[in-house]
Amino acid sequence: MPVPEIEIEEFADRHAEGVRVVDVREPDEYARGHVAGAVSVPLATVPDRAGAIGPGDGPLYLLCQAGGRSRKAAEHLADAGFDVVNVDGGTAGWIASGRDVVEGDQPT
């Protein structure tokens, strides 16, 4: 199922509003730097952890390094009934746009 995508600039606006963000990169990638508030759910664990992610209120924004892995995760979650948006450009785009990241294994 195709999922909506959002560019970094628009995502930054949504992020400032406090949207839910999931980073599907591997734990070592996440620890080296992630968008503040993003919860780590590696791509391989998305099917098993979908219930823990929960549908919540409003869309769930997914990102990875560039947008490919998060697109796969978003497609899986969309098929499961989630309201999801893939962040095109991912964490690399976020960093390239001059925005800060958080290091470590915690969302903030």
Which residues does the annotation mark as catalytic?
64
For residues 70 and 91, give the distance between their C-alpha atoms in angstroms, rounded to a whole number: 11
Q: Is 88 exposed, middle or buried (0-12, 13-18, 19+ CB in 10 A)?
A: middle
Q: What is the DSSP letter of 17?
A: T
Which one, of 30, 27, 20, 10, lies nearest residue 91 by Cα? 30
